[in-house]
Structures are given as structure tokens and as C-alpha cells.
Amino acid sequence: MDAIVLTGGSVSDKDGPKALWPIQGRAMVDYVLDALSGAADVDRIAVVGRAAGSVPAAHWLHQSGSIVDHLRAALSWLGRPRGEHVLIATCDVPLLTGAMVEDLLHRCRPFDRDLYYPIVRREDCEREFPGMRRTYVKLRDGTFTGGNLFVMKDDVLDRVLPRIDRFVQNRKNPLHLSRELGWSFTARLAVSRLVGVLSIDQVEARVTELFAVRACAVVCPYAAIGADVDDREDLGWVIRALAGRLS
């Protein structure tokens, strides 16, 4: 399976591209690339965004623009779509390992859905990273945070890119985002964050309606899949966690 790593930018321009934030003498994205290249089922890796670098396991595509522009550039370089699944990762999950990637792909088999998205239980996150800030949603099935990997059929991804672009553009505009999601679902989601009105099946069904894809939420036991680095405080957590792995 081919993989795409999105590097984007940084929270603050003065810090430089987030993908290149240093962690124990290495760029943050290098840890993600180590994990992907260490997974037996991952073949080619395209790294796309404003960051530049040289890692033997990956091909770097210098690309400005939106996340949709980045995905299109990666699909073009990989020679896709071909009607097969592709793994998409962000650059800011440096605690990811090859074993975690393999576990996620194993849970996605037999790959009979168009889209797979990992979610992690709150108790797993708090057990592994006590005190680390995460955004959780309470569902009937439990309380979860989202992961930073996606598995999606490349031809479906190519088709839904315009709608993804609208979601990204409206992510900080609650009014416009609610219009995209639908007012009824937005209201139920807001209530569910507090009292667990919705189920995983209902969320999957809404994603299927919105994007005309067969979606599947994959419950994963690894908190590192959802431990993305948004700021310097998160970076401190990651540095301590990596130091703990080596001790």
C-alpha cells in the first residue's frame, strides 16, 4: 500500500514548518517516516507540503497551496487513482511506530470499505499519556479521540477532494461547517459530546451520506495514533514520551 504524508505548515511562522520541528536532533516528520517505512505493508511514501528534506525512504514533493492541492500532487506522483487503498498520515504524530501502522491495517482488512478512520478510547489515551490535552467526543459506544491516519480508496479520494476542500476552508466557521454537516446532525453531535447521544454506526452513516463513501471507524488501542503535536506544550509531552521509550 502506498502512503502519503502531509506536512502542511507550522502553527507559528517563526517556528518554521512543523514537519521540521526538532525532536532529539531529528525532524518531527522523520519519526513518522520511520514508522511508515517500518511497516511491512507500506510500499512507496510521498511526502508533500512546504517542508523540504531528504529521507531515503520517501519521495519529497515541494508543494504550496491547500491540503487538497497536496493530495492531488501526491496522487499524481504516485500515478493514482487505480481503485486501490492508500494510507494518508499527518507529519505530527512522532510517537507512531511501524507496529502501530501494521495493527491499523490489519484491523482494516479485508478492505471492503472506502474509508477507514482510527479512533482511540479516552481511557487508553489517559493511561498512556496522563494529563495530555486531547479533544474527545462522547458516543454511546464510549468516549473517543480521532487519529491522524486515514486509509481510503484513491479513486474515491480523488472524487471527494472538492468537498474535503470545503470542509477544510470552513473548519473555523461554525455556521458554514454546520451547513455542510447538516443542522440536525450538528446539533446531535454537539449534544453527544456531552451525553453520548450518537453511536459509532450513526456517525459512520452520516459520513457515508455526506461523501457517498462506505466509511468505517476503527477502534485502535494505541494512543500515539491520536497524539498529534499542535504546539510547544504537546512537543514537550512527545519528547518525554520518547525519552521514556529509550530508558
Of residues 86 and 164, the one with the higher pLDDT is 86
Of residues 165 and 225, the one with the higher pLDDT is 225
Would you place residue 190 in the very low, low, confident or very high pLDDT band (cuts 50, 70, 90)?
A: low
Query: Using an 8 Å Cβ cutoff, are 161 and 66 in contact?
Result: no
Q: Give me 12's grid cell.
A: 507559528
Give the CATH fold of the 3-246 domain: Spore Coat Polysaccharide Biosynthesis Protein SpsA; Chain A (3.90.550)
The pLDDT, as a whole number, for residue 130 is 85
Question: With 90 as the cut, is the pLDDT of residue 5 above it?
Answer: yes
The pLDDT, as a whole number, for residue 15 is 61
* Cis check: omega of the bond before 81, within 30 degrees of 0: yes
The pLDDT, as a whole number, for residue 26 is 87
User: Region 218-227: what's the mean pLDDT?
Assistant: 94
Tens of pLDDT along 223-241? 999 998 888 888 888 888 8
67-76, 192-201, 235-244 — most confident range: 67-76
The pLDDT, as a whole number, for residue 79 is 95
User: Region 52-68: what's the mean pLDDT?
Assistant: 78
The pLDDT, as a whole number, for residue 216 is 94
The pLDDT, as a whole number, for residue 247 is 58
Tens of pLDDT along 89-145? 999 999 999 999 999 999 999 999 999 999 999 999 999 888 888 888 888 899 998
Q: What is the mean pLDDT of the chain?
A: 84
Would you place residue 10 in the very low, low, confident or very high pLDDT band (cuts 50, 70, 90)?
A: very low
Model-level pTM? Answer: 0.87
The pLDDT, as a whole number, for residue 169 is 59
User: Region 215-226: what's the mean pLDDT?
Assistant: 94
